Every structure is written in structure tokens, then in C-alpha cells.
Amino acid sequence: MGLCIAVIRIGAYIIIFGVFVVIGVIGHVLFFRSTPWRLKWIAYFAQWWARVTCFVLNIKIRVEGDVNIKSGSLFVANHVGSPDIFICGACFKGFFVSKAEIADWPLFNWLARLGMTIFADRNKRHQVKAVIQQIRHRLNADQSVILFPEAQATDGADVVPFKSAIFEAAVLSRRTIIPVSIHYHDGHKPTIAFYGDSFIKHIFTLLKTPRLEATVKILPKILAGPDRQSLADQSCRAIRDKVLNASFPSA
């Protein structure tokens, strides 16, 4: 049964992939002279890509908290696995900050580049300033940015300290930070959403799973301050408190 579901989803996603590649190319061609309009076009259809992906994978999302969030905010969330990207993308219109390795993944790199993903290579410290400036420019253009400051996937049981460098973009742009906690309700420990040791195995497990439920909690906003480390620590504490102590209903 699981293999059959996986095959159907792969077939459906090949079609979806083609459609959204075309949409992305059209947006870049139509608005190549206007960065503001190109950003709006890409952000709009990137959100629909995430929503369609959640539909194909049968990921059901329960959202709690204030959904009326001003454009140009910096969303930060705990990171468990690839479904985090689809879920955050479906809930919030914005651009992702991703590890540089994704730029080399077959197929995924096309969508990531067309979606104007900001790639961060944490092994090259000299690139950090460039990444911060890219995020700053997006925020100042009233486009939200979504990132996972743990810089790694965890099993969802706890939250590791956030990397603070990227928070400099919020300091420079004076933009609000929106902490977000993600929790999965599949009864597995760790959840099947967790990357584990093998990304390929993780993807096939996800494809074979009939249904996945998740709760997204939008936490109180944090106003930008002069110290990026304090912003990182505040955000981490807020999310970690929810992950460790909040009561989530079972699936």
C-alpha cells in the first residue's frame, strides 16, 4: 500500500514540478526589469507550490496564533526535516534561506533557484556578510524571509541553540522576528519527518506515509534590537519552551 502511494505521488509531483518550473520561468522573464514585481510574483507562486506539495503528501496543518503578520518579517522556526519547508512555505509567504548543498541537488536546485532561495554556505565565513545583505534587501523590500537558525535537523524532541549571524539582517533592517514552533503528530519517536541518517530513505518514508499532521504555533513577535545574539537567544527560548512544554493534541 505504501509503495503504491509513493508511486502515485511521484507521478503527480513530476507534473507539479513541470508546471511550477514553467511558472517560475515566466515570472523571471516577465519581470526581469522589475525586482519588486518579480519578488511578489515568486513569493505568491512559491506559497502555492508549498500548498500543493502539502496536498500531494497529505500533510494536514493546524495553525495556532496570530496569522495577521506584517510583510517583511523574519520567520524563524525549529527544524526537523523536509516537511518543515513545505509547511512553513504553505503558512507564510516568503523566501527561504537554505544550506548551499541544495543548490547542487538534481531537480530540487531548479525550484530553489527559480524560487529565489538565498543559499548560505556555513563553511565559508566570508560569505556570511553577503547572505546577511541579501536577507536585509528582501526584508527592506517588504518580503518576508523564512529560516531555520539551528542550522541542522533535530529529532523534534528539543531545540539546539540558534546560530546568531543571520539575525544581523533583522538588526540592520529593523524588522520584526516571528518565532514559529513546528510539532508533528505521527506517534513515531523520532517523527518520520526527521531527516535521520539518509535523506533518500527519509524522502521515500515520507512518500509512503498516508497522512502526516503537524501543528504550527506562531509565537509573539520579537522587536528588532541592537544585539543579534540576544535576538537569537530570545527566539530560541520562545520556540524551545513550546517544544518542551506545550501540550499538543495527538493525531
> How large is the average pLDDT for residues 220-241?
94
How many helices (H) does the chain have, and how many strands (E)?
Answer: 8, 7
Distance from C-alpha of 63 to C-alpha of 167, rounded to nearest angstrom:
25
Q: Does 251 fall in a domain?
A: no
> For the residues 71-80, what does the mean pLDDT come to?
96
Q: Is residue 250 part of a domain?
A: no
Sheet with 212-218, strands from edge to edge, namely 59-64, 212-218, 177-184, 74-77, 145-147, 95-99, 118-120
Summarised one tens digit per residue, pLDDT across range 132-145 is: 999 999 999 999 99
Cβ of 152: how many Cβ atoms within 10 Å?
A: 11
Question: Which of 243, 223, 241, 239 has the alpha carbon at shortest distance from 231?
Answer: 223
- Give the list of residues 6+ apart from residue 230 with CB closer than 8 angstroms, or none: none
Q: Is residue 157 part of a domain?
A: yes
61 found inside a domain:
yes
Cell numbers for 34: 522589475
- The residue range of the domain holding 97 is 2-245
The pLDDT value given to residue 250:
45
Question: Is 97 within a domain?
Answer: yes
Grid cell listed for 107? 531537480
The answer on pLDDT for 233 being more than 80 is: yes
In a domain, 75, yes or no: yes
- Specify if 43 maps to a domain: yes
What is the pLDDT confidence band of residue 238, given thresholds at 50, 70 and 90? very high
Domain count for the chain: 1
SS3 label, residue 147: strand
Give the residues across from 99 on adjacent strands.
Answer: 120
Q: What is the structure's pLDDT at 225?
A: 83
- Is 82 inside any structural domain? yes
Q: 199-208 and 2-30 are packed helices; what angle lies between their axes, rounded to 10 degrees?
A: 110
pLDDT at 103: 58
Quote the pLDDT of residue 33. Answer: 84
Q: Are residues 18 and 58 in contact, defined by beta-carbon separation less than 8 angstroms?
A: no
| CATH number of the domain residue 86 falls in | 3.40.1130
- Detail the DSSP E strand segments found in the chain: 59-64, 74-77, 95-99, 118-120, 145-147, 177-184, 212-218
Does residue 106 have a pLDDT over 60? no
What pLDDT shows up at residue 156? 87
